[in-house]
Amino acid sequence: MVASLGELQEELKKRKPRDRACLVVIAGQNVGEMYRIEGPETVVGRASNANVRLSDDGISRRHARIVQEGAILFIEDLNSANGTVVNGATISRQALQDGDKIRLGPTTILKFEYQDEIEEDFRQKMYDAALRDGLTKAYNKKFFLDRLETELAYAKRHKADLSLVLFDVDHFKRVNDTYGHLAGDAVLVKLAKLTQSALRQEDVFARYGGEEFAVICRGVKLAQAGVLGERLRAGVEGAVFEYEAQRLPVTISVGVAAFPNSPVETTTQLIGCSDEALYEAKRCGRNRVLLKQT
């Protein structure tokens, strides 16, 4: 049921001053993620400058926006291709109530709610625990595999480019054996930070195995992904890795594959192509990038 503006204003008076408005993704690629609503306008869409950026099928570049008028927040559809639906009804503009469910496109559902700092912190920790690797804070393997499935299906359906970059630490066992496992952990943590700083917002960075990492690059051709792989390799080679005042020798080997260059049908096949390139990079001497050409 849609409340009147008077009813909404009365409800808002009951809220604690530190309650914060936010959107929580409850269905779609970014499920579990939470976005705080701040400022006079919050744009939701696929565009790189959207405040809430969602890349699911059916989302327009500027799909909808949330604007504040006084104490009340309104959602407005921005002439999106697939419309904005609030609690089952298609809207052009509507005041938002705590608990409203907003559907954008066929698969993405957001929940609008107010949270205090404690609730917000708790939800973020639960989200991180479910989807991220505890040590490096990269996405975990399950999230990576689920997302790669979605991205490959999208690429096949839209005849789009999709690249997968796999890399791991050269002679990582030697680092652990020589300097200890805590030193090895420190290497992985710094490596993850270096990698994350070199990626686009839409790239998906995950820890695939012990010292092996993966980057999913939507809309990126094989050669471009190779450039990214080289940037990562050179960045690691040029970085200083230290643990307890000891400098650690760290380099990475990188394997890159892409659809449709490799006409794969499954994510297992795409991972296999990247893994073949990674193995070849190691076989050829390590600390290099190799591309899977077919």
Residue 77, C-beta contacts closer than 8 angstroms, at least 6 positions apart: 63, 64, 83, 84, 91, 92, 93
Gap between the Cα atoms of 257 and 269, Å rounded = 10
Q: At what angle do helices 222-238 and 181-197 cross, to 10 degrees?
A: 130
The answer to whether the beta carbons of residues 39 and 134 sit under 8 Å apart is no
169 three-class SS:
strand
Please tell me whether residue 50 adopts helix, strand or coil conformation.
coil
- CA separation for the pair 229, 219 (Å, rounded): 16
Kindly list the catalytic residues: 211
Peptide bond preceding 260 in cis form (omega within 30 of 0)? yes
Per the CB < 8 A criterion, the answer to whether 51 and 150 are in contact is no
Residue 194: CB atoms within 10 A of its CB come to: 17
DSSP character for 132? B
CA distance 126 to 257: 33
The position carrying tokens 């950026």 is 53
Tokens of 202: 């839409």
Alpha helices for the chain (secondary structure H): 5-13, 117-131, 141-158, 172-179, 181-197, 222-238, 267-283
- Rounded distance between C-alpha atoms, residue 24 and residue 135, angstroms: 25
For 123, the token pair is 């939800």
